[in-house]
């Protein structure tokens, strides 16, 4: 009885979602980006270690969110070229003794989307707030985590923008 009730509710929910025209945002983004994507990251001479973090975050987002495959540039529908600004760390909160206890890491990702027909540029800001031990120097691990998380937020903002472009094109 319980199984039949759950199955009936699942079918009703499925019919409701399919009848209202709901489509996940990744579907709209795939309309713009395609299913085969290549990526490259411009290596920053000031901060080359962060390039690897950005490349990993970009590739994970493409596979996880776009449900697309990474391919070579010559076989791709779209090529995404990323460059990162030097991260900045802004104090957010101080303790009673005047020591910083939390920071905000901020990065700017510049993204160039290339297809056979066009080139389009984007700039996305990513931030990440994190706590630190009072009167301590930022460790490499804290810095790398802050860059990775802020880059992931910037990539998510890019995906949202591309999804919005896709929904506008499909709606026309």
Render each residue's pLDDT in the chain as its tens digit; 172 residues.
666 667 677 767 766 666 555 566 666 667 777 788 888 888 777 667 777 777 777 787 777 777 777 888 888 888 999 888 888 999 999 999 999 999 999 999 999 999 888 999 999 999 999 999 887 788 888 888 888 888 889 988 988 898 888 777 665 5
> Rg of the Cα trace of the chain?
21
pTM of the model: 0.74
CB-based contacts of 56, cutoff 8 Å, min separation 6: 148
What is the predicted pLDDT for the residue at 110?
Answer: 94
What is the predicted pLDDT for the residue at 61?
Answer: 74
d(CA 170, CA 163): 10
Out of 3.50.50.60, 3.30.1120.10, 3.40.50.1980, 3.30.160.150, which CATH number does the structure's domain 24-171 have? 3.30.160.150
What is the predicted pLDDT for the residue at 18?
Answer: 60
What is the predicted pLDDT for the residue at 119?
Answer: 94
């Amino acid at each position: 009885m319980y199984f039949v009730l759950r199955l009936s509710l699942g079918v009703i929910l499925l019919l409701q979602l399919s009848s209202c025209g709901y489509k996940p945002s990744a579907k709209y983004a795939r309309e713009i980006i395609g299913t085969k994507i290549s990526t490259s990251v411009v290596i920053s001479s000031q901060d080359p270690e962060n390039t690897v973090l950005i490349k990993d975050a970009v590739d994970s987002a493409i596979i996880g969110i776009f449900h697309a495959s990474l391919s070579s540039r010559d076989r791709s529908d779209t090529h995404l070229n990323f460059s990162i600004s030097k991260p900045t760390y802004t104090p957010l909160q101080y303790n009673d003794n005047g020591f910083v206890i939390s920071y905000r890491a901020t990065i700017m990702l510049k993204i160039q989307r290339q297809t056979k027909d066009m080139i389009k540029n984007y700039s996305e800001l990513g931030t990440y707030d994190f706590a630190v031990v009072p009167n301590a120097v930022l460790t490499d691990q804290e810095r790398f985590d802050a860059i990775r998380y802020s880059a992931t937020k910037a990539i998510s903002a890019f995906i949202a923008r591309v999804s919005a472009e896709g929904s506008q094109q499909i709606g026309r």
